[in-house]
């Protein structure tokens, strides 16, 4: 397949300011979000945004065509994108989505890792991750509040409300895992993060997400002990392989209070680095002997999960943080891998039942003061939402912006719509420097089916029913969102997940107000109904309160 390439000397960054390259702010918004994904990318040269191979576009030829299409797209047209490749532009109408996309979707029986890799190598598909291919990634901040809220719930449930002096052990500091050290510190813990790639650690230290790099495990444990004795929260990292360090800690009799993991265990070819191989050796073997890499990665994952299970036996609070590590270990013969809880069902599901989830907004002109203004709107207009108020205060003090200034804040049904309309009014009244894009993570009430993450252990047994994210995407399309996407898993996630994403831009117009009102209300409303339908009493009460459903 012939593709154009990006010149080595050129680095893509999101445009700033008020000058338009497109025919309107809706199109310019999506173009800037695409550029923002790449500005935040792990490997921009490969279009990989995070998680080792989640891509923003299929190839550079597709990227350039998408950019050209967005620059020339009329407001009454819709661009169709198939797994990162632009296919066509159709005349629709002014309230229709500007972009509709589907990424990584493979028919069930064919959705295996082997088939996915073959189709990817042929240039026919990509894995879009959750927010990579639909241009909704905002850097490590995108998952940091979710990680923080999990740890806060762990504190409430297991440690009388506080992680002060508690030792949290985890691993992985990539595009998602990189949020862990700061989230742990904000939750009051002493957190040690194991990462095989020193460059990733250094990136997180430079971004303010991690404080210290330990020279080795002895040094790391000394730093942990020092912080515990002083009663201070601290984030510490150490270069190493979790499949070696977790068992070594057990051997030494070091039992953390909390244990989890967010390595790239979702993929055993491009993600997880096997024990005994350097990063360079792993990359070389991926080309020369991919079957051996997958085998050795699975074996290493099995060792790590066995260690996690042993930590649990010895009293640690242990949970899977959503990277599919238990499923991989089970495939390698760890029959009790699912004795480890999944974070969603264990700690976050009560929030989803109320339509509360990872809501996000991005300042499209690049002006940090816009985010600070919206922070104040949240504090002023949602004082009863203690979760949001607490987080906005923490984020304002501790979160450094990556690329375009952005914020994540877990907000519920009705709240998202109210805030977005307040922001749209502020754009209209020029209280903000320019338009604001609203989006969310795919791990939201109605937006994901993943029987090993978001929908594990549903009360009614509907873990694997993937109608919900499909309905979510259809409803967001009918509700006039600016971009709507349907994703399914690829690689190690093949056959495990279907999800949906949406983006709506507040540009100060009456039409934007209508889009924000219809799409955001429908999006969260369906999330409440998804859990009400599954017999969760909290969701049924929320549905009754908001007059949702039949």
Domains 141-339 and 348-545 belong to one CATH topology: no
pLDDT tens-digit readout, 177-224: 899 999 999 999 999 999 999 999 999 999 899 999 998 999 999 999
pLDDT at 267 (0 to 100) = 81
Residue-wise pLDDT for 485-540, tens only, equals 999 985 555 568 999 999 999 999 999 999 999 999 999 999 999 999 999 999 99
Sheet holding 212-214, edge to edge: 212-214, 234-239, 190-195, 167-171, 258-259, 317-320, 341-342
State how far the Cα of 59 lies from the Cα of 84, in Å rounded to an integer: 8
Q: How far is CA 359 from CA 145, 410, 437, 446, 502, in A?
A: 10, 5, 11, 13, 11
Strand runs (DSSP E) across 209-287, as ranges? 212-214, 234-239, 258-259
CATH for 141-339?
3.40.50.10730
End-to-end distance of the chain based on CA atoms, in angstroms?
51
All residues at 6 or more sequence positions from 436 whose CB lies less than 8 Å from its CB, including other chains: 361, 362, 363, 364, 370, 374, 423, 427, 505, 506
What is the model's pLDDT at position 492?
A: 53
Q: Which parts of the chain sit beneath pLDDT 50?
A: 1-3
Sign, CA torsion 505/509/514/520: positive
Catalytic residue annotation? 409
Fold for the domain defined by 348-545? Urocanase fold (3.40.1770)
Cα–Cα distances (Å) from 467 to 119, 256, 324, in that order, read: 25, 40, 21
For the chain, domain boundaries: 25-121, 141-339, 348-545
């Amino acid at each position: 397949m012939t593709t154009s390439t990006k010149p080595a000397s050129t680095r893509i960054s999101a445009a700033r300011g008020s000058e338009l390259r497109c025919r309107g702010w809706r199109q310019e918004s999506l173009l800037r979000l695409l550029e923002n994904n790449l500005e935040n990318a792990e490997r921009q040269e490969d279009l990989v945004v995070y998680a080792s191979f989640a891509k923003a576009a299929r190839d550079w030829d597709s990227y350039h065509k998408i950019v050209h299409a967005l620059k020339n797209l009329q407001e009454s047209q819709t661009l169709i994108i198939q797994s990162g490749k632009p296919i066509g532009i159709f005349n629709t109408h002014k309230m229709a989505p500007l972009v509709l996309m589907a990424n990584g979707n493979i028919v069930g029986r064919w959705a295996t890792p082997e088939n996915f890799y073959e189709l990817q190598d042929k240039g026919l598909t990509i894995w879009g991750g959750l927010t990579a291919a639909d241009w909704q990634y905002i850097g490590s901040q995108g998952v940091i509040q979710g990680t923080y809220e999990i740890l806060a719930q762990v504190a409430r449930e297991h440690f009388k409300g506080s992680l002060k002096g508690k030792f949290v052990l985890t691993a992985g500091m990539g595009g998602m895992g990189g949020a862990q050290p700061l989230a742990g510190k904000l939750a009051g813990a002493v957190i040690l993060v194991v990462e095989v790639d020193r460059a990733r650690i250094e990136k997180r230290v430079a971004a303010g997400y991690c404080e210290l790099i330990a020279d080795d495990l002895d040094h790391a444990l000394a730093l942990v002990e020092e912080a515990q004795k002083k009663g201070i929260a601290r984030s510490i990292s150490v270069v190493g392989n979790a499949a070696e360090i977790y068992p070594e800690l057990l051997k030494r009799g070091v039992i953390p209070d909390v244990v989890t993991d967010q390595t790239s265990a979702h993929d055993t070819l491009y993600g997880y680095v096997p024990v005994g191989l350097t990063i360079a050796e792993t990359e070389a073997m991926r080309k020369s002997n991919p079957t051996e890499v997958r085998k050795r990665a699975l074996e290493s994952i099995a060792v790590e999960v066995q260690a996690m299970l042993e930590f649990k036996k010895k009293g640690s609070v242990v949970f899977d943080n959503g990277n599919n590590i238990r499923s991989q270990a089970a495939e390698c013969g760890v029959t009790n891998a699912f004795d480890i809880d999944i974070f969603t069902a264990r700690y976050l599901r009560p929030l989803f039942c109320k339509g509360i989830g990872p809501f996000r907004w991005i300042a499209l002109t690049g002006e940090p003061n816009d985010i600070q203004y919206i922070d104040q709107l949240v504090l002023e207009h949602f004082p009863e939402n203690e979760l949001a108020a607490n987080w906005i205060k923490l984020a304002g003090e501790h979160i450094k912006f990556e690329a375009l200034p952005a914020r994540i804040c877990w907000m519920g049904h009705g709240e998202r719509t109210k805030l977005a309309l307040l922001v749209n009014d502020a754009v209209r009244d020029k209280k903000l420097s320019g338009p604001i894009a609203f989006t969310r993570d795919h791990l939201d009430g109605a937006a994901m089916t993943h029987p090993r993450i978001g929908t594990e252990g549903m009360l009614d047994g509907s873990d694997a029913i993937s109608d919900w994210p499909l309905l979510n995407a259809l409803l967001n399309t009918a509700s006039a969102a600016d971009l709507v996407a349907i994703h399914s898993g690829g690689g190690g996630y093949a056959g495990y997940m279907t999800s949906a994403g949406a983006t709506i831009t507040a540009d100060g117009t009456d039409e934007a107000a209508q889009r924000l009102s219809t799409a955001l209300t429908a999006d969260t409303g369906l999330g409440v109904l998804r859990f009400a339908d599954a017999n969760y009493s909290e969701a049924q009460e929320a549905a009754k309160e908001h007059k949702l459903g039949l």
